[in-house]
Amino acid sequence: MNNFTVKQLDALKLPEKDKRVIYYDSNVRGLALRLTSTGTKTFLIIKRVNSKKVYSTLGHYPDMTITQARKKARTVLNIMSDGVNPNEKSLENELKKITLKQVLDDYITSRGTNLKVDTVNNYRGAFNGYLKDWGEKELLSISRDMVEKRHRKITKQSPTRANTVMRLVRALFNYAMGEYEDADGNPIVLHNPTQRLSHIKAWNREKRKQTIIKSYDLKTWWDAVHALPTHELNAKKPNHSETARDYFIFVLLTGLRRREASTLTWANIDFKDNTLNIEDTKNHESHALPLTDYLVKLLRQRKANTDSIFVFEGNDPTKPMNDPKKQLAKAREISKLYFNIHDLRRTFITIAESLGVPKYALKQLINHKDARDVTAGYIIMDVERLRQPMNDITDYILEQVK
């Protein structure tokens, strides 16, 4: 075909089934039209770039007119004459348009099972709570000024939350800087706007929470938790309150993290050796604990009254107990003591320290990993060596709640 005309393109005969034919325009060298057996007519550029034959789609006829196709073809051909593959250039342009929300999704997907469910929920909670209006913004449009102003705004509500949100932004930009590249392997994202916070020293100072249940309050707390199943506040759901009661006591007497305790299955419990074994922990280190007589009795009673695979089953027995916020609130109301689940872990640690539990034994008890402590890496602590410290901690608590 010589010069593309409407009459000629409309009169083209369809090729055989599953075949396609390409026609070239004599007006603009490199401009072609591809015709398929289904009747689809597509304008495209066919030209070599760096010795490689490149096909670049322009649009479909007749939605794109011949005049429009020629105009766009000249622009694309000019780019190709400079050695640029328009297909790769298009990908680069798309990457430059990627939004903060897309980066969050890519980041979570790429980390896969390395991210705990709680961590993913925390990321999405922080994003939806404080960055939702940035979700559809192009990543490259988020400036240092925007970061500084948003951090300052959130700080007025909660300095700690402001830092948490901006640490998420920092992580997303760091991920983007290493993930998204142009055709030559150069990063699309070159700067992290959260650097402004470090430069002007705007990160808020965070105080580690020190809340624990004092020794003189342990009996009040213990009595309140044990009262949950029969208290008038729980008249409608006694079974769930029993689970919450046992869960609260279990965390206090083991020092386990909230999620580690709530997702325990009976497969984690060894009644022969009276031990507890967890593989999937926060720091990805397996964790073994000896179980005291009190805990063994509590667990045996639970196992005798459930068909669930979970030690602390949820409302749906096929799932673990979710965050027991309602029961926690009721325990606070009964005891008149404000506490959260992590306070129970801190209380366990504080009691262990007060009883003189050796440093490395305590680290093993709470599965605490410190990369700076080289010596700890050479100490292998047999689970049986932890049994006496566990007994001492339990005995101390039981003595306080008499």
CA–CA dist 268, 303 (Å, integer): 13
The pLDDT of residue 278 = 87
- Look up the pTM and report it: 0.58
Report the pLDDT value the prediction gives residue 115, as an integer from 0 to 100.
81
Whole-number pLDDT of residue 337: 92
How many other C-beta atoms can be found within 10 angstroms of the C-beta atom of residue 161?
A: 15
For residues 139 and 274, state if they share a domain. no
Domain co-membership, 118 together with 169: yes
In a shared domain, residues 173 and 250 = no
Q: Residue 298's domain spans which residues?
A: 215-400
What pLDDT score does 380 carry?
43
Q: What pLDDT shows up at residue 353?
A: 95
Tell me if 88 is assigned to some domain.
no
Decide: 320 and 240 in contact? Cβ < 8 Å. Answer: no
Domains identified in the chain, total number: 3
What pLDDT does residue 373 have? 46
CATH of the domain at 256: 1.10.443.10
The rounded radius of gyration (Å) of the Cα atoms in the chain is 32
Q: Which CATH number belongs to the domain containing residue 58 in this structure?
A: 3.30.160.390
DSSP state of 397: H
Q: Let me know if residue 205 belongs to a domain.
A: no
How confident is the model over 275-303, as pLDDT tens digits?
A: 999 886 665 667 889 999 999 999 999 99
pLDDT for 232? 81
The predicted pLDDT at position 379 comes to 40
CA–CA separation, 15 and 13 (whole Å): 6
Which positions of the chain have pLDDT values less than 70?
1, 89-95, 182-185, 208-209, 235-239, 280-285, 368-381
Q: Which pLDDT does position 32 carry in this prediction?
A: 95
